[in-house]
Amino acid sequence: MRKEKEIEVVKLMIDVYCRGKHKHKKELCEECEELWQYAKARREKCPFGDEKTFCSNCKIHCYKPSMREKIAKVMRYSGPRMMFYHPVIAFKHVAETMKYKRKAKKEQKGVKVKNDKEKD
């Protein structure tokens, strides 16, 4: 379920980018369609499944460098605009990002405490 939602969000972000940068209204241009198909295939093959974080927070980068640059450009452009096109999705993304960062910070503190105890 989560995988499908993430795929849908990526599609929406690519739509916003293509509409704004390439002036395509109904369908994606060839370049954006290629990026969309690539992103969808990469997400389908993700080894983390539904436990996956956002790609920006992931330890494994499964996009080839050229596609990673393209998707990063799409995200930078579409991210702020998602609040106008899809506000609920944008709010959920921000909330989940904050949740992930809090969790990572707690885990990092836990690791430091364990390492300090091991030294004693």
Q: Where are the domains of the chain?
A: 2-88
Contact 60, 34 (CB under 8 A): no
CA dihedral 84, 87, 93, 97 (to 10 degrees): 80
> What pLDDT, on a 0 to 100 scale, did the predictor assign at position 111?
59
Contact 74, 13 (CB under 8 A): yes
Q: Which two tokens stand for residue 49?
A: 């499944």
Calpha distance 105→49 (Å, rounded): 23
Q: How confident is the prediction along the chain (120 residues), in pLDDT tens digits per residue? A: 588 888 999 999 999 999 999 998 889 999 999 999 999 999 999 888 877 777 767 778 789 999 999 999 999 999 999 999 999 999 988 888 888 888 888 888 875 544 444 444
> What pLDDT, on a 0 to 100 scale, did the predictor assign at position 108?
82
Q: Which candidate, 36, 58, 34, 35, places its Cα nearest to that of 46? A: 58
